Amino acid sequence: MLLGVLLVAGSLIFAVNSDGINGTVNTAIANDSIEKNVANEYHISSIDIPEDLNFAGESVPQQDPEIMERVDREFLVNTYWQSNALLLMKRAHKYFPVIEPILAKNGIPDDFKYLAVAESGLTNVVSPAGATGFWQIMRETGREYGLEVNSNVDERYHLEKSTEVACKYLNRWKKKYGTWTLTAAAYNAGPGGINKYMRTQQVDDYYDLLLGQETGRYVFRIMAIKEILSNPEKYGFHLEKDDMYNAVPSFTVEVDKPIASFANFSKKYEINYKILKRHNPWLREPHLNNNSRREYTIEIPNKGYYRESK
């Protein structure tokens, strides 16, 4: 007598009756009940590299087989790391509108927004060396270019201000190196490192230099990210408008005195501490010292976009 109990072991289904386990394995039922996770149209293949690759308008020597192997690697890695690519597309929709006009105002090619993607994935990460924020700015560099950097306020986390600093830095080294490609490499390795490579190897073109692995991949990675984010459907990515991350509308409040508690400050605007810090990650502590009575601009989100605090 069949008791109506099914035991699933991997992909095998056994019928249990009053006499024990039926000796016949019902593989047909098992196979019919299993759905595949991989879509029928999903295929893994090599990438068709565009024939007009360039970085900031500077052409890539695509006739060079060594160069093309490096290009191919970055296209493969960044295309088939699908979860990361999707996150980058979603974040770019939120943050590129902030970055793009600042680059344009400072005469920096639009391609450099993809440098920020390569540096940080458009998140406020901190590297093992201490480079911080979307643009991965070192403490000394930030201070040199006018950012406030201390335990209480760290403007390397301020997207608009750190983008301005990145522009000044890039323009400075473009004047020295003459090409945007070497300028990007210097952003990654530091001008001292690039100068040493150029002096030792007696060449002055990024594509002729033998560099460390990270910097050697750097410009190729930026170009791959640029191509994939610019043409997502070509590389198999399908996103709707509703899939994207969006900036929450906000207004600003000027503050020129210390704030003893950001938790209390937040309540005045019907938000909580977490939301205040999400909109102002450059505020690094639960309070603002501001002994110098400097004027700070704090961003406050418009009402109705976050759930009400309890």
pLDDT tens digits, the chain, 310 residues: what are they? 433 433 333 433 333 444 444 444 444 444 555 555 555 666 788 888 999 999 999 999 999 999 999 999 999 999 999 999 999 999 999 999 999 999 999 999 999 999 999 999 999 999 999 999 999 999 999 999 999 999 999 999 999 999 999 999 999 999 999 999 999 999 999 999 999 999 999 999 999 999 999 999 999 999 999 999 999 999 999 999 999 999 999 999 999 999 999 999 999 999 999 999 999 999 999 999 998 999 999 999 999 888 876 6
Q: Are 154 and 199 within one domain? A: yes
Looking at the structure, do residues 229 and 155 belong to the same domain, yes or no? yes
Q: Looking at 196, 217, 243, which one is the last position of a domain?
A: 243
Same domain? 103 vs 220: yes
Instruction: Please report whether residue 78 resides in a domain.
Output: yes
Q: Give pLDDT, residue 72.
A: 95
d(CA 97, CA 160): 11
Given 219, 243, 267, the domain boundary residue is 243
C-alpha span between 125 and 203 (Å, rounded): 34
Same domain? For 260 and 189 the reply is: no
| Residue at 120 is within a domain | yes
User: Model pTM?
Assistant: 0.84
**Do 149 and 260 reside in the same domain of the chain?**
no
Question: What does the pLDDT read at residue 46?
Answer: 87
pLDDT at 110: 97
pLDDT at 285: 97
Q: pLDDT value at position 190?
A: 92
| Whether residue 238 sits in one domain with residue 256 | no
* Residue 47 belongs to some domain of the structure: no
Q: Give the domain extent around 24.
A: 2-33
Residue 46, domain member (yes or no): no
> Are 136 and 126 a contacting pair, CB within 8 Å?
no
Q: Is residue 45 part of a domain?
A: no
Say if 222 falls within a structural domain: yes
Q: Is residue 52 part of a domain?
A: no
Domain count, the chain: 3
Whether residues 202 and 285 fall in one domain: no
Instruction: Tell me, yes or no, whether 121 and 18 share the same domain.
Output: no
Give the other-Cβ count within 10 Å of 47's Cβ.
18
Shared-domain flag, residues 194 and 151: yes
CB atoms within 10 A of CB 126: 13
Q: pLDDT value at position 11?
A: 39
Are 264 and 235 part of one and the same domain?
Answer: no
